Homo-oligomer: A and B are copies of this chain.
Amino acid sequence: MTKAPSPTRIQKKNRAAILEAALEVFSTHGFRGTTVDQIATEAGLSKPNLLYYFPSKEAIFNELMSGLLDTWLDPLRSLDPDGDPLQEILSYVERKLQMSRDFPRESRLYANEIVQGAPRMLDTISNDLKSLVEEKSALLDSWMAAGKINRTHPKHLLFSIWSLTQHYADFDVQVRTLMGDEDPFDAAPDYLETLYRRMLTPRN
């Protein structure tokens, strides 16, 4: 189905450079706000040369997106049904926060797409993400039923984790402007751990 010919050394290098450049540009200007020329320049290629490696701007975007999503959902996937509930959740929050710090561009790329109505991603969300969320919501539910963590709405719990952690990447400019010299990521882990600990630790 897909082409068989093994990629040459140059192909590998240039495709990687293009995707890296595309991540940089797409994440700060969105799909429509990005020009092929910008990506090409950032990747150190000419526009026709770039289009020799990818058939279109949209193709670059799609490849970037599908590649991203796997990594992106990984922390949620590894929420372990057999682990200690509170610890599992706290670890998930921590991992998500680390991703916001270490891969803010990926977060912003995703945010850009969703804020604008996810025109190129609704399918993925409705399928892959949705089924994963259903599965993990059920897990959270079972933990609540067993009294391991406080009862709340499991989906809203997930949303809150996403929004709180990704905020530091997506609204980075605002956060840093308002915090001045202080690095947001100094206090954030502690803040979020406290928040979820107080919220989820079972009361007696």
A interface residues (Cβ-Cβ under 8 A, vs B): 28-33, 108, 111-112, 114-118, 122, 125-126, 129-130, 133, 150, 152-153, 155-157, 159-160, 162-164, 166-168, 170-171, 173-175, 177-179, 184, 187-188, 190-191, 194-195, 198-199
Contact = CB atoms under 8 A, between A and B. Distances in A.
22 contacts: A30-B30, A30-B33, A30-B116, A31-B33, A108-B115, A111-B115, A114-B170, A118-B174, A122-B177, A125-B174, A129-B174, A130-B177, A155-B178, A155-B179, A156-B184, A156-B187, A156-B188, A156-B191, A159-B171, A159-B175, A160-B191, A163-B167
A156 to B, nearest CB: 4
Contacts of A150: 198
Number of copies: 2
A188 B100 CA distance: 24
A46 to B, nearest CB: 23
Contact of A167 (B159, B191, B198): B159
Contacts of A155: 178-179
Contacts of A130: 177-178
Contact of A198 (B28, B117, B170, B199): B199
A30 B111 CA distance: 12
A92 to B, nearest CB: 16
